[in-house]
Amino acid sequence: KTQVEQSPQSLVVRQGENCVLQCNYSVTPDNHLRWFKQDTGKGLVSLTVLVDQKDKTSNGRYSATLDKDAKHSTLHITATLLDDTATYICVVGDRGSALGRLHFGAGTQLIVIP
Amino acid sequence: EAAVTQSPRNKVTVTGGNVTLSCRQTNSHNYMYWYRQDTGHGLRLIHYSYGAGNLQIGDVPDGYKATRTTQEDFFLLLELASPSQTSLYFCASSEGRNYAEQFFGPGTRLTVL
């Protein structure tokens, strides 16, 4: 059973618009949550990690929230650029240490058009 | 900067063929991982290791072997490849500390005909 669900599956926005990506999960325990960006044909690159029960992070035009009570996270991208075209993957870690398992979502494919 | 490299980047083989995928990291990380990525699925862990000579079974290990020869090098072996193993394979490395980020290689696309 899929434990990390991302929505929407795909999204098209115009350059300059904002967008919000959603991640719902059922992983227990939920130690931390990380968002990755995956450019086509390339590996995953970390954008941010959220750890606290109710957490917020900001990394340039990317900001993220986590609510562990709701088992829900969002990734906001402000003023999108063409280079933001990629797949964004939500990953939930069930432990803080490297011995824990990572549970990967299938990703949201974002396409930014001129 | 952290660096994880994989070779080959693309590989085509036939059913029953023997394939070795290579991964090298220059991060001095103890932990290394092999994942497969299939359309509509999240990455799935095949095998991982926390040091030279150590191997741990992941979530989808059937049909795969792995060897960690040094801290830097981790290999994934498919001894009798099957079409169901057609996939995009990623290697990653990480430190052992809490919330340590996994650094991913560029991936190897394997096609089994």
The H helix count followed by the E strand count for chain B is: 0, 11
Cβ contacts of residue A43 below 8 Å, gap of 6+? B4, B90, B92, B104, B105, B106, B107
What residues of B are in contact with residue A50 (Cβ under 8 Å)?
A: none
Average pLDDT over residues A55-67: 96
CA dihedral B100, B106, B109, B110 (to 10 degrees): -60
φ and ψ of B64, to 5 deg: -125, 140
**CA–CA min distance A59, chain B (Å):** 16
Reduced DSSP (H G I as helix, E B as strand, rest coil) percent helix, strand, coil of chain B, to 5: 5, 50, 50
With tokens 């075209």, the residue in question is A85
3-state secondary structure of B85: helix
pLDDT reported for residue B2: 54
Say if the Cβ atoms of B105 and A93 lie within 8 Å: no
**CA–CA min distance A100, chain B (Å):** 10
Q: Measure CB to CB from residue B99 to each of A32, A41, A42 and give the nearest one.
A: A32
Average pLDDT over residues B62-89: 97
Token pair recorded at residue A4: 């990390």
Asked if residue A105 lies in contact with residue A89, where contact means CB atoms within 8 angstroms, the answer is yes
A54 touches chain B (CB under 8 A): no
Average pLDDT over residues B92-97: 86
Q: Does residue A1 have a pLDDT over 80?
A: no
pLDDT reported for residue A98: 65
pLDDT reported for residue B98: 74
What CA–CA distance (Å, rounded) separates B85 from B106?
18
pLDDT reported for residue A97: 67
Paired residues of B19 in beta bridges: B78
Say if the Cβ atoms of A98 and B42 lie within 8 Å: no
What residues of A are in contact with residue B42 (Cβ under 8 Å)?
A: 2, 4, 89, 91, 103-107
Token pair recorded at residue A68: 């562990």
- Banded model confidence at residue A96, pLDDT cuts 50, 70, 90: low
Q: Does residue A91 have a pLDDT over 90?
A: yes
pLDDT reported for residue A41: 85
Asked if residue B90 lies in contact with residue B40, where contact means CB atoms within 8 angstroms, the answer is no
Average pLDDT over residues A4-22: 97
C-alpha triplet B67, B69, B72: angle, nearest 5° = 110
Q: What is the mean pLDDT of chain A?
A: 94
Q: Does residue B108 have a pLDDT over 70?
A: yes
